[in-house]
With several copies, the nearest count.
Chain A
Amino acid sequence: MDFALPPHVEAYRDEIRRVVAESVTPEIIDRQHSSGTFNSYELNRAMAKAGLLERAVPGLGKGDPIELWMLFHELEKLQAPYDSISVSLMVAGVINAVGTEWQKEQVIPSVLTGEGLVCMGYSEPDFGSDVASIATRAVRDGDEWVINGAKMWTTMAHEAKWLILLTRTNLEVPKHKGLTMFVLPMDTPGITVEPVPTMGTERTNATFYDNVRVGHEWVLGGVDEGWRVMGVALAYERGVMGGTSVAVPLLRHFHEWAEQVGLADDPIARERMARVAIDCEVAKLLTQRCAWIAATGGLPGLEGSMTKVFATEAYQKASRWFQQMAGPQGLLQFHEPGAAADGWIEYDARHCPVTTIYGGTSEINRNNIAERHLGLPKARR
């Protein structure tokens, strides 16, 4: 097994670092946290201009899938506001995989400019982990569909140009066989967006669909094929599209601050920093494995579940350790005098819990691993 980066990936990485250094200012990071909108058009456009984005759409074939991993690994380490461009590129990949040529023409170039962001409407107020039971209805009316319902956790709906929307189209079949995915413009009449502030700073939304009419050409991946389309999206999401390197900047922040305040020589702190470094390395390797699988044509769904569970729980452990070791200073928020790591330690303590929820809870991922990897019977939940 060769763990060395190929030269073209190293060059790609250096290019990412250059673009981030030029486009992500401290003001942009502050704006992200004050607005709750984890997106920077400055960064998106700069990446688009440098040609980084088109190489990072999964399956598009413009770049090595390893580059996709490298992109989000680097953006995350540098704490660039990458969340919405990540989702957008992932959806572009799904559209590339299952969409029509017309859909590809509509959406993919728009995403690749860095301007046309995409948001996801899967979960509903009553259906989170049990997404197969969602109730938002799409009813055919000639060449059109009429959609009614409500979605929850539609992050970036207030900025996005596009939406992918999971709907129920067939009541006659088992739940997960009656779902259809749509991709549609967010400015379609009948969609309203209400903000949902969260303790992790990030703003998300509830979205409502009131007689939203879209043409049949916006059906993504076929009628009643929504479950399969979501599977493709989840395999991308849990693998290499970010979220698995998030403990790295936390370690860096803690380490630098601990050096400043003289805590870095404490043996308990040293043991914990080393253990976090190990976890970061393992999370990186598990992510890299997903990229390798994708690079050889596979869909790393199960490996992505394993990576997500490990990386997010390791991040939570690191956050708990570091906030505790920072003591009172670990309570102070961004830019408050005396705040540990200028507030990053406090921020991560508020942010980290959500990571074992979104994109599939740890329990759901463990169920997947138990059933599909270990071959245990479907859980008597």
Chain B
Amino acid sequence: WERLLETGAPGMGVAESRGGGGASLSDLVVVAEELGRAIAPVPLVEHMIAARLFSEADIVSGEAIATLALHPTDHSGMWRIVPAGAVADVVIGVDGADLVAVRNDSPGGGPRNHAAAPLANRNARVGERTVLGSAREFDHALAEWKTVTAGALVGIAAQALDIAVDYVMSRHQFGVPIGSFQAVQQGLADLPIHIEGGRLLTYKAAWAGDRGTPGFTDADDCNVTDFAALASMAFVFVADAAAHATDRSLHYHGGYGFAEEYDIQLFYRRARGWALVYDDPSREAVRLADRLFARSN
């Protein structure tokens, strides 16, 4: 995190007028892909978007870590399973009818989890509380989060593919690289399709977010330019693509994929962890349907 501070990455998505780097959402997606390639255990995705919502100086600079609670508080005023919740100084999320930023002590630790990520539950009603707007205003930040997370997941998938290609070229069985077996080749050949398709979709979502004008949701005509719909599409498609790419890469490592000394198992776990901390892609697809296809009842 310290090294990121020097690069200005934490506040890069904040307008220059508010002391930030003035970067577009499309820029953040590019940064997130690199982050995903490195499966860097830093809460940069959440922070970059939180900083756009709540641009206090120490957040823009990154001295204070901010994050997003992806789901509203429960009945007791707790945000559950907040990404970066274990380390964040400020949490932004929905509490009842309000979108609030809450500054209180970070717990420093949280539940052990699949991605070894700094998740934690956070209290929305303790500490310094700032109302940023109504709950609905969080929708845009959530679409930004889905888009930038999709970028990070593209990075995970792309790196997992590169690792797999290196491995199957260097690992020999039956006297040849296992990458010369058609079964392996056909299995790997799908991955770049999904990765490159997912990247284009993520870029388009970011483009729609940057454009800032209302778009179309006409799926019957394959004419979708609405930011929220595209962000949701990118999240669903790339979450599945990253899960699949890391699964295949792990598989083609044979037993070595499971050994903790090989990195691929971390890619496998983070591909799942970074997506599911929000939700099941299938449930997101059902919500997407509500946006694309009006309900008749």
User: What is A's interface to B at a CB cutoff of 8 Å?
Assistant: 1-4, 73, 77, 123, 126-130, 133, 152-153, 196-200, 204, 245, 248, 251-252, 255-256, 259, 262, 264-265, 267-268, 270-271, 273-275, 277-278, 280-286, 288-289, 306, 309-310, 316, 320, 323-334, 336-339, 346, 349-350, 353-354, 356-358, 361, 363, 365-367, 369-371, 373-381
* Distance A197 CA – B262 CA, assembled complex (angstroms): 11
Given A277-B219, A331-B276, A353-B268, are A264 and B174 neighbors across the interface (CB < 8 Å)? Answer: no
Given A363-B183, A379-B180, are A323 and B276 neighbors across the interface (CB < 8 Å)? Answer: yes
Q: Which residues of B contact A198 (CB under 8 A)?
A: 258-260, 265
- Which residues of B250-289 are within 8 A (CB) of A? 250-251, 254-255, 257-261, 265, 268-269, 272-273, 276-283, 285-286, 288-289
Q: Which residues of A contact B3 (CB under 8 A)?
A: none
Chain B binding surface SS class: helix
- Which residues of B14-67 are within 8 A (CB) of A? 26
Our pick among A204, A248, A259, A286 for the contact of B222 (Cβ within 8 Å) is A248
Q: Which residues of B contact A284 (CB under 8 A)?
A: 222
Given A198-B260, A324-B281, A381-B182, are A289 and B200 neighbors across the interface (CB < 8 Å)? Answer: yes
User: Within 8 Å of chain A (Cβ to Cβ): is B152?
Assistant: no
In the assembled complex, how far is the CB of residue B143 from the closest CB belonging to chain A, in whole angstroms? 15
A-B contact pairs, 7 of them (CB 8 A): A196-B259, A280-B222, A327-B280, A338-B80, A338-B111, A379-B182, A380-B182
User: Within 8 Å of chain A (Cβ to Cβ): is B177?
Assistant: yes
In contact, B237 and A259 (Cβ under 8 angstroms): no
In contact, B111 and A281 (Cβ under 8 angstroms): no
In contact, A328 and B277 (Cβ under 8 angstroms): yes
In contact, B258 and A199 (Cβ under 8 angstroms): yes
In contact, A245 and B254 (Cβ under 8 angstroms): no
Our pick among A248, A289, A370 for the contact of B221 (Cβ within 8 Å) is A248
User: Within 8 Å of chain A (Cβ to Cβ): is B155?
Assistant: no
Given A328-B277, A328-B279, A379-B180, are A280 and B219 neighbors across the interface (CB < 8 Å)? Answer: yes
Number of inter-chain CB pairs below 8 Å: 283
Q: Which residues of A contact B198 (CB under 8 A)?
A: 282
* Distance A90 CA – B60 CA, assembled complex (angstroms): 54
* Distance A374 CA – B249 CA, assembled complex (angstroms): 13
* Those 4 A-B pairs whose CB atoms lie nearest each other, nearest first: A370-B185, A366-B189, A336-B111, A270-B289
User: Within 8 Å of chain A (Cβ to Cβ): is B297?
Assistant: yes
In contact, A273 and B180 (Cβ under 8 angstroms): no
Given A129-B173, A278-B236, A285-B200, are A1 and B289 neighbors across the interface (CB < 8 Å)? Answer: no
- For A76, give the chain B residue with the smallest CB separation: B222
In contact, A133 and B174 (Cβ under 8 angstroms): yes
Q: Which residues of B contact A331 (CB under 8 A)?
A: 81, 113-115, 117, 119, 272-273, 276-277
User: Within 8 Å of chain A (Cβ to Cβ): is B72?
Assistant: no
User: Within 8 Å of chain A (Cβ to Cβ): is B126?
Assistant: no
Q: Which residues of B contact A289 (CB under 8 A)?
A: 196, 200
Stretch at the interface among B4-12, B94-102, B134-142, B164-172: B164-172
In contact, A328 and B185 (Cβ under 8 angstroms): no
- For B281, give the chain A residue with the smallest CB separation: A324
* Distance A289 CA – B40 CA, assembled complex (angstroms): 30
In contact, B289 and A274 (Cβ under 8 angstroms): yes
Beyond A324-B280, A366-B186, A376-B169, 5 extra complex contacts between A and B, CB < 8 Å: A3-B203, A128-B254, A128-B255, A353-B247, A376-B168
In contact, A373 and B192 (Cβ under 8 angstroms): yes
In contact, B174 and A381 (Cβ under 8 angstroms): yes
- Which of the listed residues B192, B254, B278 has the most CB atoms from chain A within 10 Å of its own CB? B254
In contact, A265 and B297 (Cβ under 8 angstroms): yes
- For B237, give the chain A residue with the smallest CB separation: A278
Q: Which residues of A contact B295 (CB under 8 A)?
A: 264-265
In contact, B286 and A271 (Cβ under 8 angstroms): yes
Q: Which residues of B contact A280 (CB under 8 A)?
A: 219, 222
Q: Which residues of B contact A327 (CB under 8 A)?
A: 276, 278-280, 283
In contact, B259 and A381 (Cβ under 8 angstroms): no
In the assembled complex, how far is the CB of residue B41 from the closest CB belonging to chain A, in whole angstroms? 15
Given A248-B222, A277-B233, A369-B189, are A127 and B258 neighbors across the interface (CB < 8 Å)? Answer: no
In the assembled complex, how far is the CB of residue A19 from the closest CB belonging to chain B, in whole angstroms? 17
Given A126-B172, A129-B254, A333-B113, are A262 and B81 neighbors across the interface (CB < 8 Å)? Answer: no
- For B247, give the chain A residue with the smallest CB separation: A353
* Distance A185 CA – B81 CA, assembled complex (angstroms): 49
Given A273-B293, A282-B200, are A332 and B81 neighbors across the interface (CB < 8 Å)? Answer: yes
Given A309-B193, A327-B279, A381-B183, are A374 and B188 neighbors across the interface (CB < 8 Å)? Answer: yes
Q: Which residues of B contact A375 (CB under 8 A)?
A: 165, 169
In contact, A273 and B282 (Cβ under 8 angstroms): no
In the assembled complex, how far is the CB of residue A40 from the closest CB belonging to chain B, in whole angstroms? 21
* Distance A349 CA – B273 CA, assembled complex (angstroms): 11
In contact, B220 and A275 (Cβ under 8 angstroms): no
* Distance A278 CA – B232 CA, assembled complex (angstroms): 9
Q: Which residues of B contact A332 (CB under 8 A)?
A: 81, 111-114, 119
In contact, A270 and B207 (Cβ under 8 angstroms): no
- For B295, give the chain A residue with the smallest CB separation: A265
Given A273-B292, A310-B193, A363-B186, are A336 and B113 neighbors across the interface (CB < 8 Å)? Answer: yes
In contact, B296 and A268 (Cβ under 8 angstroms): no
* Distance A248 CA – B236 CA, assembled complex (angstroms): 19
Given A323-B272, A353-B268, A358-B255, are A274 and B221 neighbors across the interface (CB < 8 Å)? Answer: no
In contact, B255 and A320 (Cβ under 8 angstroms): no
Q: Which residues of A contact B225 (CB under 8 A)?
A: 3
* Distance A324 CA – B244 CA, assembled complex (angstroms): 13
* Distance A50 CA – B189 CA, assembled complex (angstroms): 41
In contact, B276 and A324 (Cβ under 8 angstroms): yes
Q: Which residues of A contact B204 (CB under 8 A)?
A: 1, 3, 281, 285
In contact, B255 and A152 (Cβ under 8 angstroms): yes
Given A327-B280, A353-B247, are A275 and B236 neighbors across the interface (CB < 8 Å)? Answer: yes
Q: Which residues of A contact B179 (CB under 8 A)?
A: 376-377
